[in-house]
Amino acid sequence: MTGTLVRGAARTRPRLMAVHAHPDDESSKGAATLARYAAEGVEVLVVTCTGGERGSILNPGYPRPRGPVDMSVLRAREMERARRILGVRHSWLGYVDSGLPQGDEPLPATCFARVAPQAATARLVRLIRQFRPDVVTTYDEDGGYPHPDHVMAHRITVAAFTAAGDGAAHPRAGRPWQPLKLYYNHGSHPARSAALHRALRERGSTAPYAPLPNEPVRQPDITTRVPCAEYFPLRDRALRAHTSQVEPHGVWFAVPTPVQQEVWPTEDYTLARSLVRTELPESDLFAGIATAATVGRRGVGPRQIRARRPEGLRVKMPADAARAALRAASSGRSGSGSARSRTSW
């Protein structure tokens, strides 16, 4: 899958950086991709911009604490468990969760979404120059969904992607390093949901189907589908490691894993920026990087790349295994979904 990296004599392993807003986002948006690349020898670093301090305890089965809870400590512990399960490295960017304001409620004064973007970009530039990723992922311009921290994560990652390679930008943040590709991840999207809905109905499920929390209404322009079905169980374990946030049999796990593996065995991305030549659709975030040294460093945006809609990918799965899993789900394991009043997903 991953081509031989040709940049820098000292580099032997490709590197992937995934920038997320809160602890748990890494496990709900692209986690199987991270686990797959890590297992295949790619160095993977998750950057979490905030500590998730303003997240509530969303798992109704979580033991009720007797006193005040320091959410940043709790969520750091959960993040560490998820990190180990995925087999990745992790850094905090060091900002405070903005929460999800309701209506006209103002954002807290010192939260991530209100910091000067230039300052937050500088911190991320420093991490990029230290880790030296070839590929960076984050959310699209809507933040995947309109949480102010997700939108801010998008904003600073796009800025840092360019600034990290510019010696004149943030000169005290380390030696310049230019990542080669920038992607927007899509945890789920309408096309995937529709396919899973159809599959459940075809298999006779009567369990109610619900899209994943905060799924975008608009179908994103997917350029890259990374096959990672065999890592879905690891993804689910990592997500469940965020015990305070996730019901272990809730909406995230409503569609049986074998059905997901058969019907939609990929995690999906939009190539937002590429400094290497690549042909769309892709099935590898590192596509084209093996030849980076020969194609120069001129930026190529997705509009300059001839895009073709990816065909559906399928994983062979015994039909009776899928049906058995489906029966188990229909008989009560599918869960009802969490209350999400102030979620930090």
Task: Give 104: exposed, middle or buried? Use CB within 10 Å, 0-12, 13-18, 19+.
Answer: exposed
- Nearest residue to Zn ion by CB is 22
Q: What CA–CA distance (Å, rounded) separates 153 from 22?
A: 10
Task: Give 160: exposed, middle or buried? Use CB within 10 Å, 0-12, 13-18, 19+.
Answer: buried
CB contact set of 285 (below 8 Å; sequence gap of 6+): 16, 33, 37, 135, 137, 181, 183, 224, 226, 269
182 touches Zn ion by CB under 5 A: no
Number of shown-chain residues binding Zn ion (CB under 5 A): 5
Q: Closest distance between Zn ion and the C-beta of residue 251, in Å?
A: 16
345 touches Zn ion by CB under 5 A: yes
- Helix (H) or strand (E) holding 90, with range, is strand 89-95
- The answer on whether 97 is annotated among ligand-binding residues is no
139 touches Zn ion by CB under 5 A: no
Cβ closest to Zn ion, residue 7 vs residue 342: 342
Q: Closest distance between Zn ion and the C-beta of residue 309, in Å?
A: 29
Cβ closest to Zn ion, residue 25 vs residue 43: 25
Q: Closest distance between Zn ion and the C-beta of residue 134, in Å?
A: 25
- The answer on whether 147 is annotated among ligand-binding residues is no
Find tokens 């593996």 and name the residue. Answer: 261
Q: How many CB atoms lie within 10 A of CB 281?
A: 18
Among 21, 49, 88, 271, binds Zn ion (CB under 5 A): 21
- Tell how strand 224-227 and strand 266-274 pair up: antiparallel
Q: What CA–CA distance (Å, rounded) separates 284 from 33?
A: 10
Q: Calculate the dihedral angle through the C-alpha atoms of 245, 249, 253, 259, rounding to the nearest 10 degrees.
A: 170
Does residue 47 sit in helix, strand or coil? strand
Among 15, 22, 132, 235, binds Zn ion (CB under 5 A): 22
Q: Closest distance between Zn ion and the C-beta of residue 18, in Å?
A: 13
Q: Closest distance between Zn ion and the C-beta of residue 340, in Å?
A: 11
159 touches Zn ion by CB under 5 A: no
- The answer on whether 150 is annotated among ligand-binding residues is yes
54 touches Zn ion by CB under 5 A: no
Rounded to whole angstroms, what are the CA distances from 159 to 51, 99, 120, 128, 191?
Answer: 22, 23, 10, 12, 29
Q: Closest distance between Zn ion and the C-beta of residue 225, in Å?
A: 23
Segment contacting Zn ion by CB under 5 A, of 17-25, 75-83, 251-259, 321-329: 17-25
155 touches Zn ion by CB under 5 A: no
5 touches Zn ion by CB under 5 A: no
Give contact residues for Zn ion (rule: CB under 5 A): 21-22, 25, 344-345
